[in-house]
Amino acid sequence: MPKKKYTKSLKKKTYPLISIITVVYNNAVHLQKTLNSIYSQKFKNYEIIIIDGNSTDGTLKIIKKNKSKIKFWISEPDKGIYDAFNKGMKYSSGDYLGFVNSDDILLPNALQILSEYIKKYPNIDFFFGAVKKHWGILYGYRPWKIFYSWGFYSSHSTGFFIKSNSAKKVGPYNLKYKYSSDYDYFYRMIVKKKLKGMGTKKSELFGIFNRGGYSSQISFKDHFREEIQIRKDNGQSLLIITIIIIYKSIKNFKKLIFD
């Protein structure tokens, strides 16, 4: 299928303009609900960027149906979700950018809360909003945990927003990592570039992360293997990496054997 593209001029209003990147592949079932959740935002100064991986299930019909409200969309084969993220950042023009995957929901107050944090803390590079997942609400930001755990933040989709200029300092998602390139991105962002971040309160909920998306389909074994590689590639202490391997191998023995 040839590449499809639609752009719509958007006159920048008050600061900040927030770019919302939605990547999708064959998810016509949920895409409209996700778009509706963005339209329902009380804070209206946003643009929507949709990156479709050449869907064949009716996703394009939904995109075209909504094209008057979309700043930019493209449909073409890609190299996976992280390649799509990189494209989305490339075509964004906002002061801040964030990701709302095509089966997740952005709650009505999300961008309003974010804009208030941005104005109150102008020197902060990125924010993690509280996100509801099927087991509970994840919130806060604990950067010291990144050296031994990935449980230092709420969520990538619906929860993570970063200054566009700061995102350029971090660079693109590394396509070497098929399953966990967002972890590598955060490691570079926090440890390598030493960018400043902040988390919202538990009550300041940004979105709902739907179980069954891309990350839910990845086995623990694949996640674990790539996590170790990411830590090695970023030059983390081999002693700490060895301790992590031993601890997680014991704790998740059944998953490693039967997953």
Instruction: Determine how β-strand 72-75 pairs with β-strand 126-128.
Output: unpaired
Does pLDDT of 216 surpass 60?
no
Judge contact between 135 and 69, C-beta under 8 A: no
Give pLDDT, residue 2: 42
Does pLDDT of 79 surpass 70?
yes
Give pLDDT, residue 219: 80
Give pLDDT, residue 221: 84
Does pLDDT of 187 surpass 50?
yes
Give pLDDT, residue 1: 44
Give pLDDT, residue 134: 84
- DSSP annotation of 118 reads H
- Fold classification of 4-211 is Spore Coat Polysaccharide Biosynthesis Protein SpsA; Chain A (3.90.550)
- Ordered DSSP codes for 32-44: HHHHHHHHT-S--
Extract long-range pairs of 112-115: CB within 8 Å, 24+ residues apart: 112/41, 112/42, 112/43, 113/200, 113/204, 113/206, 114/18, 114/43, 114/161, 114/206, 115/16, 115/18, 115/43, 115/45
